Amino acid sequence: AKDPVRVLVTGAAGQIGYALVPMIARGIMLGPDQPVILHMLDIAPAAEALNGVKMELVDAAFPLLKGVVATTDAVEACTGVNVAVMVGGFPRKEGMERKDVMSKNVSIYKSQASALEKYAAPNCKVLVVANPANTNALILKEFAPSIPEKNITCLTRLDHNRALGQISEKLNVQVSDVKNVIIWGNHSSTQYPDVTHATVGDKPVPELIKDDEWLKSGFISTVQQRGAAIIKARKLSSALSAASSACDHIRDWVCGTPEGTWVSMGVYSDGSYNVPAGLIYSFPVTCRNGEWSIVQGLSIDEFSRKKLDLTAEELTEEKALAYSCLS
Ligand code: NDP
């Protein structure tokens, strides 16, 4: 039998956490033959709710679940973890300045970076979900210098999956037949969902859709605004789809992407596609042997170039704002 993998979920008593932990315990993140030990962290006001989640995990009698640590202590939560999914963060509240939200999250990610760096297992893989996800991941990277930058990523897989879903609905084809969309840039409304290289059964999506106008406006804004549309409909933000895509992100990273398929991940930019190095930016990646690499050599037309640059500019500004909160 395999040794259990320790998976940390921060903000585990929240909405996404509640959807995510049973998926992990069922083997959806790491596979049906991989035992897991869940480490759940939340803040003191959520301690009782967190304990309730732990009780439900016991009650669900998941065969793969070999243990549960539920705690408000970051050191206990981070000790020995192989995978860390960072969902906890300070929410945007009405009337709050962007700088105030940033400042709260910078301090959370700074201290959690230190706990991970000191206590996580070597080669721990980190996925940041909490917003502003790209910039939180960057702060985590800065304050965990011994964790290789390749191990620190943020979630844009939900946006990627949303793009697949929109194409599948438009063409009335199975979502599993749609491949190789790309989310470029920030997990925000400046992200660029790009179908230039996407295919359905080896046919290019732009040729199948034959509606350039929709692809260049309606499609892009639907994907960009999908989170807001869910909030409007559910009166709560997306949680099941966020949790499911977090599982997809880790599974593909650990187990590899299928031949001929890429996915979108927020990763540390090395300057590929003239994206400024040193940002956490969403790129098309393939994964093998537990490592991602940015897909190289894709053609970028003029329309796309502008969109790639615009979202990079926003990330550069966010980075500056985050650093100004540090001093
Ligand atoms: P959710 O579980 O709904 O969301 C958690 C985070 O994920 C938020 O930052 C949210 O951003 C972000 N997120 C990223 N992508 C998505 C997406 N597609 N859809 C929805 N959210 C997305 O929030 P809850 O408030 O239910 O839970 C948060 C938990 O974090 C609570 O249990 C709380 O106690 C904990 N917490 C921890 C803190 C800490 O560690 N110090 C501080 C504050 C809270 P967005 O805000 O933009 O929706």
pLDDT, tens digit, for every residue of 120-165? 999 999 999 999 999 999 999 999 999 999 999 999 999 999 999 9
The percentage of the chain sitting over the pLDDT mark of 90, rounded to a whole number, equals 95
Per-residue pLDDT band for 225 (boundaries 50, 70, 90) equals: very high
In the predicted model, what is the mean pLDDT of residues 296-303? 97
Q: In this predicted structure, what is the pLDDT of residue 93? A: 80
Q: What is the C-alpha to C-alpha distance for residues 78 and 295, in angstroms, rounded to an integer?
A: 32
pLDDT at 98: 80
pLDDT tens figures, 154-178: 999 999 999 999 999 999 999 999 9
Provide the 10 A C-beta neighbour count for residue 8: 29
pLDDT value at position 92?
80
| Whole-number Å distance between alpha carbons of 71 and 50 | 8
Q: Which of 12-30 are b and which e, b meaning 16 or more Cβ less than 10 Å from the residue's Cβ?
A: bbbbbbbbbbbebbbbbbb
How far apart CA 147 and CA 144 sit, in angstroms, is 6
153-174 burial string, b = 16+ CB within 10 Å, else e? bbbbbbbbbbbbbbbbebeeee
Provide the mean pLDDT of the chain.
96
CB contact burial 202-222 (16+ within 10 A = b; e otherwise): eeebbebbeeeeebeeebbeb
Could you please report the per-residue DSSP string of 238-271? Answer: --HHHHHHHHHHHHHHHH-PPTT--EEEEEE--S
Q: Is the pLDDT of residue 327 over 80?
A: no
Q: Which range among 97-106, 141-150, 227-236, 269-278 shows the weakest confidence by mean pLDDT?
A: 97-106
Read off the pLDDT of each residue in 52-65 and give the average, rounded to a whole number. Answer: 98
Whether 229 has a pLDDT exceeding 80, the answer reads yes
**Does ligand 1 come within 6 angstroms of the Cβ of 242?**
yes
Atom of ligand 1 nearest to the CA of 159: 18
* Protein residue closest via CA to atom 31 of ligand 1: 14
Residues annotated in a binding site for NAD(+):
11-17, 42, 105, 129-131
CB-based contact 185:308 (threshold 8 Å):
yes
- pLDDT for res 162: 98
The stretch 231-235 carries a mean pLDDT of 95
Q: Which residue numbers belong to the known binding site for substrate?
A: 92, 98, 131, 162
Give the residue carrying structure tokens 């997809």: 248
Residues 39, 187, 197, 249: which is the catalytic one? Answer: 187
CA-closest residue to ligand 1 atom 46: 91
Query: CB-hemisphere CA count at 13 Å for 299?
Result: 5
Cα separation, 53 vs 38, in Å, equals 11
CA-nearest residue, atom 41 of ligand 1: 108
Whether residue 71 has its Cβ less than 6 Å from ligand 1: no
Annotated catalytic residue 187: yes
Residue 31 scores a pLDDT above 90: yes
How many Cβ atoms are within 10 Å of 37's Cβ, its own excluded? 20
Three-class SS of residue 323? helix
pLDDT of amino acid 274: 98
DSSP 69: E
Put simply, whether the predicted model's pTM sits higher than 0.95 gets the answer yes
Give residue-wise pLDDT tens across range 71-117: 999 999 999 999 999 999 998 887 788 888 899 999 999 999 999 99
Contacts of residue 262, Cβ cutoff 8 Å, sequence gap at least 6: 180, 182, 284, 285, 286, 295
278: exposed, middle or buried (Cβ count in 10 Å: 0-12, 13-18, 19+): middle
pLDDT of 247 above 90: yes
